Amino acid sequence: MIQLPLWRQVPLPAASVATATRLPAMPVFVIGRPNRCPDCLSEAFIVGRVTAECAGCGLPLAIVRSRRLS
Protein backbone atom coordinates (compact mmCIF):
# COMPACT_ATOMS: atom_id res chain seq x y z
CA MET A 1 0.00 0.00 0.00
CA ILE A 2 1.32 3.42 -0.98
CA GLN A 3 1.63 5.92 1.79
CA LEU A 4 1.16 9.51 0.65
CA PRO A 5 3.34 12.22 2.15
CA LEU A 6 1.73 14.09 5.00
CA TRP A 7 1.42 17.35 3.07
CA ARG A 8 -0.63 15.58 0.41
CA GLN A 9 -3.16 14.44 2.97
CA VAL A 10 -3.75 17.81 4.58
CA PRO A 11 -6.08 19.99 2.51
CA LEU A 12 -5.05 23.58 2.04
CA PRO A 13 -7.04 26.18 3.93
CA ALA A 14 -9.81 27.40 1.67
CA ALA A 15 -9.10 31.04 2.49
CA SER A 16 -5.54 31.00 1.18
CA VAL A 17 -6.58 29.22 -1.99
CA ALA A 18 -9.34 31.75 -2.64
CA THR A 19 -6.94 34.64 -2.08
CA ALA A 20 -4.36 33.20 -4.44
CA THR A 21 -6.84 32.63 -7.23
CA ARG A 22 -8.66 35.92 -6.83
CA LEU A 23 -5.50 38.01 -6.93
CA PRO A 24 -3.71 36.90 -10.09
CA ALA A 25 -1.53 39.96 -10.33
CA MET A 26 -0.86 43.26 -8.62
CA PRO A 27 -2.70 46.00 -10.50
CA VAL A 28 -0.28 48.65 -11.67
CA PHE A 29 -0.48 52.05 -13.30
CA VAL A 30 2.15 52.46 -16.01
CA ILE A 31 3.22 56.03 -16.63
CA GLY A 32 3.21 56.93 -20.30
CA ARG A 33 0.75 54.26 -21.29
CA PRO A 34 -3.04 54.11 -21.46
CA ASN A 35 -4.25 52.55 -18.25
CA ARG A 36 -7.55 51.02 -17.38
CA CYS A 37 -8.94 50.21 -13.98
CA PRO A 38 -9.23 46.42 -13.58
CA ASP A 39 -12.24 46.92 -11.35
CA CYS A 40 -14.51 49.42 -13.09
CA LEU A 41 -12.67 49.82 -16.44
CA SER A 42 -12.39 53.56 -15.96
CA GLU A 43 -9.55 55.35 -17.70
CA ALA A 44 -9.43 58.32 -15.35
CA PHE A 45 -6.87 58.22 -12.58
CA ILE A 46 -5.71 60.55 -9.86
CA VAL A 47 -1.97 60.11 -10.05
CA GLY A 48 -0.04 60.61 -6.85
CA ARG A 49 3.58 60.12 -5.92
CA VAL A 50 3.45 56.41 -5.14
CA THR A 51 -0.01 55.27 -6.16
CA ALA A 52 -2.54 56.21 -8.78
CA GLU A 53 -6.13 56.12 -7.60
CA CYS A 54 -8.97 55.27 -9.90
CA ALA A 55 -11.29 58.22 -10.25
CA GLY A 56 -14.25 55.93 -10.68
CA CYS A 57 -14.01 53.45 -7.80
CA GLY A 58 -10.98 54.65 -5.84
CA LEU A 59 -8.90 51.54 -6.44
CA PRO A 60 -5.25 52.30 -5.69
CA LEU A 61 -2.72 51.11 -8.23
CA ALA A 62 1.02 50.97 -7.75
CA ILE A 63 2.77 53.33 -10.15
CA VAL A 64 5.29 51.72 -12.46
CA ARG A 65 7.52 53.72 -14.72
CA SER A 66 7.89 52.31 -18.19
CA ARG A 67 11.46 51.41 -19.06
CA ARG A 68 11.09 53.06 -22.42
CA LEU A 69 10.76 56.42 -20.72
CA SER A 70 14.08 57.91 -19.84
Least Å from the CB of residue 43 to Zn ion: 9
Residue 29's beta-bridge partner residues? 63
Give residues in contact with Zn ion (CB under 5 A).
37, 39-40, 42, 54, 56-57, 59
Nearer to Zn ion, 20 or 41 (CB): 41
Q: How far apart are CA 27 and CA 53, in angstroms?
A: 11
Closer Cβ to Zn ion, 25 or 69, answer by number: 25
Least distance from C-beta 25 to Zn ion, angstroms? 16
Distances, alpha carbon 42 to alpha carbons 37, 39, 60, in Å = 5, 8, 13
